[in-house]
Structure formats: structure tokens, C-alpha cells
Chain A
Amino acid sequence: MSVRGVARVDLRTAVRSRMVWWLTGVLTVLSVLGTSLVALLGVEGATAVDAVGTLSLPAVLLVPLASIVVGYVAVVGERRSGSLKLLLGFPVSRAAVVAGKLAARTATVALAVLVAFAASGVVAGLLYGGVPAGRYAAFALATVGLGVAFAGLAVGVSAGVATRGRALAFAVGSYLLLVLFWQPVVAGVHYAATGTLPGAVVPAWYLLLERLSPVGAYQTLMRAALDTGATASVFAVRPPAASAAPLSTQLGGDPVPWYLSDAAAALVLCAWAALPVVVGYLRFRGRDL
């Protein structure tokens, strides 16, 4: 009841936030541009799937950023401004505040992603004569999952810290680590464990580590959705062909363990959406405003 109340207030203010409209607009424009790129460059033999696949790079870079921007002040901003005192003057629990904020901010991000994907879907349909709707929908859903994972992370950070500055530092730090530097970090772990950099064949735990980041999990789901090996990554360590190969090949013929399944990747996204919020709430619960 009060969770819904908090979410309703938060969504109403989000709808009137110029920032949210800008974010949705930028996301949409860049997605449409990304989708059109293949046609604009006149790539020979490009399929509709290839075309929409080019969406994954802006998605990987921008959707987490949008989520962080939308989420990192969710709780701490109200705590610093004092509107939290107004809200918590009502019979509303702190858990309801965090849950309501999470619901509203994930909905905001999800909506922005869906608008962007709908627009690029239409453009892709016009340019490439039809996009496989089921695959495209699954791709969009995975991207929503990416946004929700980072929104959860950001709202959790927002609940768990006492100042905007700390929230921003945590959020930016998570972005750098999880979006930009995760693969080099995981490669570093590989190097520490085996003395070599990861090549074409890697141990299962290495792939698991890669997929424990929301971006890694998202790329897994995206590949499954579009049935393609291609992934967009930043600072990739392994040769692109190696990470595009089927899993059993990457594992050197070993059986593929359950934790490298697509369902496991979806679970990772869910965990990112939920766990930071739980930790943030536990820190927020007993604190002085």
C-alpha cells in the first residue's frame, strides 16, 4: 500500500523531470542511429539481425549510465533535501520507501529502454524489411534487464550512503568497474591463477566470472536472444572470434556447466537488481536521517 504510494509520488515527479525526458530522448536517438548504421554504411549482405545487433554497444554503454543517473539520488537525494522527513512523517516504513523508489526508478528505466527499442524496431523494419519480432522482443527484454540491474544497484547505493557525493562516487565506480574494466579485471584474475592471459580456450570459472557482471550476463542473454555470437564489449581481452565461439568450444570440449546457462545469466541480472538494494536498505534501516 505505502510502497505503491511512494512509487506513485516518485513516478509523478519523474514524469515532470526534464532529465528523464532528455535521457529517454538521447537513448532513443542513439538507438535509432545505431540501427541505421548498417544501412547508412551500406554493409553488404547485412541482415536485420546484424542491424539490430549493433544496438548492443550503445545499450551496454548507455543503459547502465542512464540507470545510474536515474537511480543514484533516489533515496539519498531526498534524505539530504529533507523531503524524506516529509515522507517518513507519514506511516510509511523505510522498507516501503526503498521498495517504492526501486519500483519507480526501475519502471522509469524500463520505459526509456522500451521507447528506444520500439523506435529502433520501427526504423529497422523500414530499412531491412522486417525484424524477427520474437528475437527482437527478447533482445529488448534482456536490455530492460540490464537497465533494471543497474537501477537496483544505484538505488541500493542511494539507500546505503549518507551523502550525494558518496552515492555518486559509488555509482561511477561501479560503472567503471562493471561496464568498462570488468573484462581486464577478470583477465587479471586468470593471469594470477594460471600465469597466462585467457585465450581461445578458457576454464569454466573464467566464463562464470565474466558473466557475474551485469554486462557479461546481458551479453549472454543478448547472444541467446539474437542467436548470434557477436558481442559488443569495451576493452575485450580475448580475441572476438574466441568469445563468439560456442561455449563447448570455448571450454575445450568440456561439458557446459549449469551456471553458464542463459537462465543463470538471467539470475545474475535479478541478483544485481535485488542484492544491492537489500544491503542498502539494511544500512539505511537503523540510521539517523
Chain B
Amino acid sequence: MSAITIDSLRKEYGDTFAVDGLSLSVAPGEVFGFLGPNGAGKSTTIDALLGYVRPTAGTITVLGRDAATESRAVREAVGVLPDGYALYDRLTAREHVAMAASFRGGDDDPEAVLSRVGLADAADRRAGGFSKGMAQRLALGMALVGDPDVLVFDEPSSGLDPTGIAALRRIVAAEADRGTTVFFSSHDLAQVEATCDRVAIVDDGRLVALDTVAGLRERYGALATLSVAADPLPDLAPLRALEGVASVAVDGDRVVCRCTSADAKVRALRAVFDGDCRVRDVDVEPASLEDLFAASVGESGRTDEADDPAPAAAPAGAGPYATTATGEGE
């Protein structure tokens, strides 16, 4: 039995949809990254898993329990760090953990939980005065209370400083060692790479890639953006014609080429040099999450405005999702 099974999930809001036919399955003990740009449907999926919203169609089961009809049983098994939550301003950190323990029937020592997330010093302070990072640490601690079999975190690193992120990674690793299933959403590729066994990439409510982190890296590892400052700017047409160059754009005095292989970077650079320009600077950026999305989407055969055949018209350096992904409410 899988820990989490999402089957043909669809969620509509009015005449738009947030999730459209999403299916995936998470094995027990797996650390599963749920990756996608803002507005991709990650939070909606997690909200449906936790019973915060009702799916329009499709089902989610957690350890064999239906998330819509047996929500309480699901939440017995799941430790939750939701998105868009608020703490109780008038309760202290300790009282929050005690509350979690009372609802989960656990006998966790609040002191131990708080020191695990680095909040021992703030145990008796009211949450109303907490920074976003402290609040996130406290909510993370509350999710761990009662040793749930499944942990569901929605953007757990948001608001955390580097120390907090390191603590989060340690906690995820320790929970994984104990056999806990961890399902978390993120738009941070590095975070996912560091902690996950497998990754699902969603965009526009649909699954666009599902693979191990190693597999993804193998598939898209060669992706990179080559940025060359040249004077005068080279002719763009020959660059675009090169094999392995996905797009070419101009950003100020730089020409920016998205390349899909290591060879392509070299070919593109050589083409710029051959164009009789004085090259002042060269930058190579490894694939960003946007590039990864773009590549995934390209493979999944999506054809809409994201695959605009005239990338020069788009702001240089910005992935096609930089413009389409923002502003969508989740």
C-alpha cells in the first residue's frame, strides 16, 4: 500500500481550475518533493489532501484512507505544516506544542520539540511577537508532535533563514531514517535536490515530470544559460540556428542563449566570437527551476503560449514561466 495516492485530482474554482487531472503515488518511507512555480496547484493539492478543500473530481488516499470522506483519520496519521496558516498570537510557543500534543494524544515534551526546531529560548514567549521564521519553526515543531507516519509540508522553507533551512533538512533526514514518509512542496530546486528521493514537477495543475532527483539531473543537467556581453551585439539569427540552442534573447548589452547541451554552449560561444564582436564578459548559469519546468513542459508536449516560438520578444533571461506563473491564486 502506498503512503499517498493522488488519482485524477481536479479542483475548479469558478470557471478556472487549480489542479487538472493530477495523479501520483508516494511510497511509504519516501521523501517526495512536489515542485512547481507559484500557482501551479501545489497548495491546492495539499489543501485537498488535508481536507481544507473539496476536490471537484478525483481522490486522494493517505495510508488507505480517503482524504475527503475520512479526513479526520487522515489527519490522525499526518503531521501538517500548512501554507497560509497563522499561529495563535496570545499563546506561547510551549502552549502551541502542548495543544498539538493534546490533539494528537502524544506525550511529547514541549521542551524537546522546541529545542529540536531551535526555539527553546522562546518557549514562553507569545507567538504574536514571532518573526515569520520563528513562526515557521514553531509550526514545523507542531507537525512533528506525536511522531506521525506521514509528514506533509507546504513550502516548509519559506521564511526560514539558512540556519532554519539547515535544521529543516536535518529534521527531514532524521524522519526519513525513521521510516516516516515526507511529502513537501517547494519552488526551490536546491532544497528538493538536497532532501528528496523522488520529485514531481507540476505546472498549471498538471504533472509534467516525475522522476528521481538523479534522473531529473541526468535529463536536464546539461541545461544552462549562456550570457555573453559583446560589443557590438552579434547577429542573432545564426545563433538561433545552432543545434541545442533553445532560445536567444538580448538583455541590455548581453546576448542570452538557453542551451540544452554542453556542446551547444561551446558552439554558441564560438559563434559569438566568430561574429567579429569584442567579447567583454561570459557567464554560464546552471539550469534554473524555470528552465527545468520549461524543458519538462517541452517534453510533455504542451503547446501554448509558453512555447512561444519568438523568444526574442520575451524579457531576456526570464523563463517562459516567469510571466505566466505569477498572479495565479492558489
A interface residues with partner B (beta carbon < 8 Å): 2, 5, 8-9, 12-13, 16-17, 78, 81-83, 85-86, 88-93, 286, 288-289
Contact = CB atoms under 8 A, between A and B. Distances in A.
A288 B91 CA distance: 26
Given A88-B51, A288-B54, A2 B86 contact: no
Given A9-B91, A17-B90, A88-B50, A82 B85 contact: yes
Q: Which of B91, B103, B142 has the most CB of A within 10 A?
A: B103
A132 B310 CA distance: 90
Given A91-B72, A91-B76, A289-B47, A5 B99 contact: yes
Contacts of B52: 85, 88, 288-289
Given A9-B91, A288-B54, A92 B82 contact: no
A83 B86 contact: yes
A13 B126 CA distance: 11
8 contacts: A9-B99, A78-B86, A83-B88, A89-B75, A91-B75, A288-B52, A288-B53, A289-B47
A92 B85 contact: no
A193 to B, nearest CB: 44
A82 B72 CA distance: 19
B326 interface: no
Interface in B88-138: 88, 90-91, 95, 99-100, 102-104
Contact of A83 (B50, B73, B87): B87
Contacts of A288: 47, 52-54
Interface string B137-161: 0010011000000000000000000
A93 B72 contact: yes
B82 A86 contact: yes
A16 B92 CA distance: 11
B80 interface: yes
Contacts of B53: 288-289
Contacts of B100: 90
B82 A85 contact: yes
Given A13-B91, A91-B75, A93-B72, A86 B103 contact: no
B84 interface: yes
Given A12-B95, A86-B142, A289-B52, A92 B103 contact: yes
A58 B315 CA distance: 67
A86 B87 contact: yes
B86 A86 contact: yes
Interface of B: 47, 50-54, 71-73, 75-76, 78, 80-88, 90-91, 95, 99-100, 102-104, 139, 142-143
Contacts of A289: 47, 52-53
Q: Which 9 A-B pairs have the closest CB atoms?
A: A89-B80, A90-B103, A82-B86, A288-B53, A16-B90, A85-B85, A81-B86, A91-B76, A85-B82
A71 B11 CA distance: 32
Nearest to A89: B80
B84 A85 contact: yes
A92 B72 contact: yes
A17 to B, nearest CB: 7
A81 B85 CA distance: 7
Contacts of B90: 12-13, 16-17
Contact of A91 (B82, B104, B142): B104
Contact of B54 (A16, A85, A91, A286): A286
A64 B254 CA distance: 69
A213 B142 CA distance: 44
Given A83-B88, A90-B75, 6 more contacts: A16-B90, A83-B86, A89-B50, A89-B82, A90-B103, A91-B104
A78 B82 CA distance: 14
Contacts of B139: 86
Contacts of A16: 90
B184 to A, nearest CB: 14
A83 B103 CA distance: 15
A165 B38 CA distance: 28
A90 B104 contact: yes
A270 B62 CA distance: 41
A57 B104 CA distance: 46
A9 B88 contact: yes
Contacts of A85: 50, 52, 82-86
Contacts of A17: 90
Nearest to A82: B86
Q: Which of A2, A13, A288 has the most CB of B within 10 A?
A: A288
A12 B91 contact: yes
Contacts of A93: 71-72
Q: Which of A5, A85, A89, A93 has the most CB of B within 10 A?
A: A89
B296 to A, nearest CB: 29
B263 to A, nearest CB: 49
Contacts of A90: 75, 80, 100, 103-104
B103 A5 contact: yes
Q: Which of B73, B82, B87 has the most CB of A within 10 A?
A: B82
Contacts of B72: 91-93
Contacts of B87: 83, 86
A252 B19 CA distance: 68
Given A13-B90, A91-B72, A86 B54 contact: no
B69 to A, nearest CB: 11
B107 to A, nearest CB: 15
Nearest to B74: A91
Contacts of A78: 86
Nearest to A92: B103
